[in-house]
Amino acid sequence: MSMRVLVADDHSLFRDGLVSLLEAAGYEIVAQVADGQQALIQAKSTRPDLILLDLSMPRLTGLEALPQLLEIVPDAKIVILTVSEEDDDLLKVIQAGAHGYLVKNLNAEDFLELLGGLERGEAAVTGRTAARLMARLADNRLPAKTLTEDLTARELELLELVGEGFSNRALSEKLSISTNTVKYHLKNIYQKLGAQNRAEAVAYAIRTGILSSSQKEAL
C-alpha cells in the first residue's frame, strides 16, 4: 500500500515537479496546496500518511503549521522542505516534532531514498545535515561507549561514509556490496551505539571523535 501524501509548497513549479516525482515513485498524492492554512484544512479532510511541508509559505509558515498538523494527524510523518541550511531553522523544526528536514537541492534519487527511510523509522535527514547539526540535539541521549571497541572495521568505514553524506545506494556502490548488506551493517551500528537512526549514529560519532577533522570541516 503506497503512502498517501499531502504536498504544501507555495512555488507551483517546484510543487508540480515534486508531485510528478512522487507519483512516478508510487506515492498517492491526496492534496497539494500553496500555504500553511490550506495544509491544515486538507490534512483534516484527507488524513495523509506523509506531509511534505515547505518551511516558508504565506498565511502560515511550515514551522507555524507543524504543531497544528501533528495534532490533526498525529500518526502522519511530516518532513520540512527548505532552501535554508541555517542551524537555527533545523533545530526549531526538529524540536517542534518534524520527522525530517530536506534541502531542495537534493537529487531525486537521494530524496526518494530518504523518504523511504521514514517507513523504517529513520529520520529524513541527510548524513551531511545530521553530522553538522544533530549532534547539538543528542548530547545526552546516547550512552558513552568506545566506538573502536564496539564496531568492526567495516562498520567504522561505513559510519565515516555516512557522516560524509553517502546514501544507502551510494554506500553500496562505494563499498561494492548490496544495499541489503548496507542495511544490515547500519542496523548493527545502530544497535551497538544505542541509536535509532543514522542521524543519531553520526551525531555520536562526531562527539566521540570518530570522524576526522577534514570530514568535520567538509560538513
Distance CA 206, CA 219 (A): 11
> In angstroms, what CA-CA distances link 40 with 25, 44, 48, 52?
25, 6, 11, 12
Residue scoring higher pLDDT (97 or 50): 50
Distance CA 124, CA 97 (A): 12
Model confidence at 16, in pLDDT bands (50, 70, 90)? very high
Model confidence at 136, in pLDDT bands (50, 70, 90)? low
Query: Average pLDDT for residues 52-78, to the nearest whole number?
Result: 92
pLDDT at 196: 74
Query: Average pLDDT for residues 19-23, to the nearest whole number?
Result: 96
Q: What domains are there in the chain, each with its CATH number? A: 4-125 (3.40.50.2300), 136-218 (1.10.10.10)
pLDDT at 28: 96
pLDDT above 60 for 113: yes
Model confidence at 78, in pLDDT bands (50, 70, 90)? very high
Residues 184/189/191/194 CA torsion (nearest 10 deg): -150
pLDDT above 60 for 111: yes
Task: Please state, for a pLDDT cut of 90, what percent of the chain lies above it.
Answer: 40
pLDDT above 60 for 211: no
Q: Considering the entire predicted model, what is its pTM? A: 0.65
Residue scoring higher pLDDT (9 or 87): 9
Chain mean pLDDT for the chain: 82
Mapped onto helix, strand or coil, the DSSP state of residue 105 is coil
